[in-house]
Amino acid sequence: MSDAVSESGSRAPGRYSVARLTLTGFRCYEKLRLDVDERPVVLSGPNGAGKTNLLEAVSFLAPGRGLRTARIGEVSMRPEGSQDGSGQEDFEHPWAVAATVRTPDGPVDLGTGREIAAAANGRERRVVRIDGEDARGQAALGEHFAAVWLTPRMDRLFVEGASARRRFIDRLVFGFDPAHAGRVSAFETAARERIALLRGAGAADPVWLGALEETMAGRGVAITAARKETVDRLATFCQRPVGPFPGARIVLEGALEGWLDEGPALAAEDRFRAALAEHRHGDAESGRAAVGPHRSDLRVFDAHSGTPAGQSSTGQQKALLIAIVLAGARMQAQERDRVPVLLLDEVAAHLDASRREALFEELKVLGAQAWLAGTDIETFAPLRGAAQFFGIDAASVTPIE
């Protein structure tokens, strides 16, 4: 695939794509096997049929908590009558997502899921396997697969809290730096343990506290540097409008970003470590560190008007978000020679005809395997002949000719 040649005569970038997707006990799917080719995949059916669940399953082939940011117990299939005495659903059931994926380096078998043994021991740990061998963590998935997505929940990305914007940027970073997932996980674990130590009875162990803050300083600055570098490069790709989609100006803001602008990473680590020590009392009361990569925010502006994205119309916000996702895919294609899989849930339904056709045309130009879900199959009419269509009803998937 990496040796493919485009119509212009230049070598086309390699692509990630799903060849076979197998689900067991995942959301509404007790068992499913779906074979697809490298073209876009259109999933059509009524609300609640299982379209988004399929996209979510594909998103679990990449590092992170998937397109719904779900905990591993939340995606287990709900057996009939699985209620405990409190009336809460019992999610203590295994699930698995397995796939054969095409990569520029050849096919790879990926698997992830939850095992009963892990659940019984109270551990929220995803099992990850690469070509049948156990992997040490989710970061290994990023070595073999990349995906970015848009969902209806993200329509308010620019007007709600900064945490969703940080997750959005982290997913883009995963496509360039798979180890980023491990750094984020290590930072979050150390941050939780530090707060628990600060809030515990008696005086906190200063040695252990210092060790946790050392981990937070090193991982936190590395996380910020990776985000900042990715956003700085992405900004170049976002500036140029693509058809009816606007150009965007993006910038990452936060205390650590400022420190990295002012000096080397080691100096930023020293400042972060000192800030953590200084704010111990206040952090214990608030339950959160006052400074760190968890305080950063992505600022987005319309490149032409300068209007902040959060103050733009709903339609313009959607267009800006799509433009940034497409820019990220183009950047991966150019810099990594890899085109990620795109997961687009109900994206086309709320676009006017010109933007819808421009989106479909951009997907064709990218050569991406995009998974598109929607209730109205006619929305995807411009993709006929260029995509594979499936109807979904009550977790049953049927090809549409």
Q: What is the pLDDT of residues 131-147, one digit of tens each?
A: 999 998 888 999 999 99
214 vs 229: CA distance, rounded Å: 23
Report the number of distinct structural domains present in the chain: 1
Tokens of 91: 């999610």
Q: Which of 14, 9, 53, 15 is nearest to 34 (CA)?
A: 53
> Which whole-number Å values give the CA distances from 178 to 31, 201, 390, in the listed order?
30, 38, 32
Assess contact for 228 and 329: CB atoms under 8 A.
Answer: no
User: Which pLDDT does position 199 carry in this prediction?
Assistant: 92
Residue 119's pLDDT is 44
CA distances from 132 to 98, 135, 204, 236 (A): 10, 9, 43, 40
Residue 215 has, within 13 A of its CA and on its CB side, a CA count of 18
Among all chains, which residue has been given the structure tokens 């990218």?
Answer: 366
Residues 395, 399, 401, CA angle at the centre, nearest 5°? 150
**10, 9, 11: which is closest to 1 by C-alpha?**
11
- Residue 323 in any domain: the answer is no
- Domain carrying residue 394: 1-146+364-401
Query: What stretch of H or E contains 222?
Result: helix 206-239
Is 384 among the domain residues?
yes
Cα 355 to chain centroid distance, Å, stands at 24
Largest Cα separation within the chain, whole Å, is 70
Q: How many CB atoms lie within 10 A of CB 133?
A: 10
Of 65-74, 232-241, 295-304, 361-370, which gets the smallest average pLDDT?
Answer: 65-74
| Burial class of 24 by CB neighbour count within 10 A (0 to 12, 13 to 18, 19+) | middle
Which CATH number belongs to the domain containing residue 51 in this structure?
A: 3.40.50.300
Q: What amino acid occupies position 323?
A: A
> 267 CB contacts (<8 Å, ≥6 apart)?
259
Spatial separation of the C-alpha atoms in residues 247 and 237, rounded to whole Å: 9
Q: Is there a domain that residue 258 lies in?
A: no
Here the tokens at position 139 are: 């970061």
pLDDT over 50 (residue 1): no
At 159, list the tokens: 């007007």
Judge residue 115's burial from the number of C-beta atoms within 10 Å of its C-beta, 0-12 exposed, 13-18 middle, 19 or more buried. middle
Q: Tell me the one-letter amino acid at 227.
A: R
Quick: pLDDT tens for 87-133.
344 456 889 999 999 999 999 999 999 875 544 455 557 899 999 99
List of long-range contacts for 133-137, beta carbons under 8 Å, 24+ apart = 137/181, 137/182, 137/185
Q: Tell the residue number behind the tokens 């939340």, with chain if given.
A: 74
Question: For residue 252, is pLDDT > 70?
Answer: yes
Nearest to 226 by CA among 168, 187, 273, 174: 174
326 within domain boundaries: no
Residue 80 pLDDT greater than 80, yes or no: no
Separation CA 324–CA 15 (nearest Å): 19
Which two structure tokens, joined as six digits, stand for 274?
């000192």
Locate tokens 């959301």: which residue?
27
Instruction: List the helix and strand counts (H, then E) for the chain.
Output: 10, 16
**385 token code pair:** 């002949």
User: Quick one: pLDDT band at residue 7, thresholds 50, 70, 90?
Assistant: very low
Whether the pLDDT of residue 3 is over 90: the answer is no
This prediction's pTM: 0.88
Lowest mean pLDDT among 55-59, 172-176, 227-231, 260-264: 172-176
Buried b (16+ CB within 10 A) or exposed e, 331-358: bbbeeeebbbbbbbbbbbeebeeebbbb
> What pLDDT does 2 receive?
39
Is residue 130 domain-resident? Answer: yes
Residue 198 within a domain: no
Amino acid identity, position 269: E
- Rounded Cα distance, 396 and 401, in Å: 16
Note whether residue 204 is domain-resident. Answer: no
Q: Considering the domain boundaries, does residue 97 fall inside one? A: yes
3-state SS assignment for residue 333: helix
